[in-house]
Amino acid sequence: MEESTVIIIVLILFLYMLLMGQYISSVLLTVGILGIYLLGGMQLLNGFIQNEPFNRVASYTLTTVPLYMLMAQFIMQAGIVKDLYGLFYRLSRGRKGVLGVLTILIGGLLGGVSGSGTATSAALGQIAVPEMQRRGYPDHLAGTIAAAAGSLSSIIPPSIFLIIYGVVAQISIGQLFSAALLPGILLMVTFSGITMVYLRMNRYKIQSTKAVAETSATLESEADLDFDHTPVSRYVVVVLAGLFIVASIFGGIYTGIFTPTEAGAIGAFIALLLALLLGSVNKAFIINSLTETVKVSVMAMLIVVGASLFSRFISLSLIPRKIIALLGGLMESPILIIVILMAFYFFLFMFIEGVAVILMTVPIISPMLTEMSFDPLIFGIMLTIVCTLGMLTPPVGISVYAVGSVSGISIEKLFRTSTVFAAIAAVIVIFCLILFPEIVTWLPSQMK
């Protein structure tokens, strides 16, 4: 069968399965197997099926996924998010603008010790949103800030998206972690700036002091927060341990003392010790932490297996070459191609889960980057930024859904504001990275 016919058949099946709501791992596995069979027959398919799935999941690099997820679960189950937010709430002294910015800052800090955007968003939605509402924030803005803060876990290392991209693009995970640090901080600053501008432009919508006072008692009861009676010693332990985890992970990787996988193991161990110090470890703590870690890890492995066969089909069908030939003269303008790709990815991440998009498209895009002599490290960070923002856009904005489910705020109201946040941040951050690529490349160039 001709390559063009096979590509059309596979594309139609792919879109049909997506619209029918199939798991992305099943979609990739099915279309990959069918595409390989139609192009090379059963003998070629058997060769791939016998070796490819095991070779992919047996990758040493992927061992970072369960380790970082275990660390994230230890941190979440120990209630550290609530403790940190309590501290930041005290520091804000109830000031509206400061509280919003500090919420975003804590999201970035949690990204450095968590790696789980959904869990962070849900925790902040439960803890931070009521406090912002009490201080006069409109519901949709309070929820959007919590979702944006939680989504930072996708770009602030250690990030599962960075790990997956590194595996597919065959780039050092340590370099990716270092490269993502400054762009992640830039995204935090951008979110903070948007928050301040939004507050200033919508002052007339902010609840009056009297209305806030009338609803304060109800909100406090619903949130079940009592920061004022938390002992200072607990804050000290949480902050010092959190800083130690971040310093251990980044310091160890940056100086070459240990690998990203070893950093994940050390981070998980420190998080467990912290939970023990806080008295949070019990039977439920262990069961919940291990269960959630296994769920996420297995899901990631299944997606990797499906994507590996799908990428084999992509290679056999010569799709990258066809795209390069189609673009023709545009290949001489790498910046224009990158802008087009980022716009395309922004749209794609609105409809498909981030890990799946990375696994599906990077094998197609990599030859184009080579042809344009564009640094795959810079492209990977841009891709991860857009992937992070995809967690805020409808209809698959998982951070928004996480916040909405725990706060009771209308998803439609949240998406109207979160989409604005995502679009503005995408334009600002991506163009900064295009104009100043040293934001990405400087730290990796200093690594030992």
User: Strand locations in 58-214, DSSP E?
Assistant: none
Task: State the angle between helix axes of 319-327 and 283-317 in degrees (0 to 180), rounded to the nearest 10.
Answer: 70
Helix, strand or coil for residue 195?
helix
Per-residue pLDDT reduced to its tens digit, 163-219: 888 888 888 888 898 899 999 999 999 999 999 888 887 765 554 533 444 444 444
Query: Which pLDDT score is estimated for 379?
Result: 94
Which residues make Cβ contacts (< 8 Å) with residue 174, sequence separation at least 6?
253, 254, 259, 260, 447
pLDDT at 145: 92
Distances in whole angstroms, Cα of residue 376 to Cα of each of 2, 261, 336: 32, 22, 16
- Give the separation between CA 303 and CA 53, rounded to whole angstroms: 10
What pLDDT, in 10s, does the model give residues 320-375? 677 777 766 676 788 888 888 898 888 888 877 777 788 778 888 888 888 888 89
Indicate the angle between helix axes 438-446 and 173-201, nearest 10 degrees: 140
pLDDT under 50 in the chain at which residues? 207, 209-227
CA-wise closest residue to 122 among 404, 444, 350:
404
Write out the DSSP string of 299-358: HHHHHHHHHHHHHHHHHHHTHHHHHHHHHGGGGG-HHHHHHHHHHHHHHHHTTS-HHHHH
Crossing angle (nearest 10°) for helices 354-372 and 24-57: 70
CA distance 277 to 74: 12
The Cβ of residue 228 has, within 10 Å, a number of other Cβ atoms equal to 8
pLDDT at residue 180, rounded to an integer = 92
Q: What pLDDT score was predicted for residue 206?
A: 58
Rounded to whole angstroms, the Cα distance separating 105 from 119 reads 16
Q: Residue ranges of the domains in the chain?
A: 62-446
* pLDDT tens readout for residues 284-296: 889 988 998 888 7
Write the DSSP symbol of residue 396. Answer: S
Q: Are 416 and 143 in contact (CB under 8 A)?
A: no
Ramachandran sector of residue 230 (left: φ over 0; alpha: ψ -120 to 50; beta: rest): beta
Look at residue 448 in the predicted model and tell me its pLDDT: 59
What average pLDDT does the chain have? 81
Q: Characterize 353-385 residue by residue with b for buried, 16 or more Cβ atoms within 10 angstroms of its Cβ, and e for exposed.
A: bbbbbbbbbbbbbbbbbeebebebbbbbbbbbb
At 60 the pLDDT is 76
- Which residue carries 């928004």 as its tokens? 400
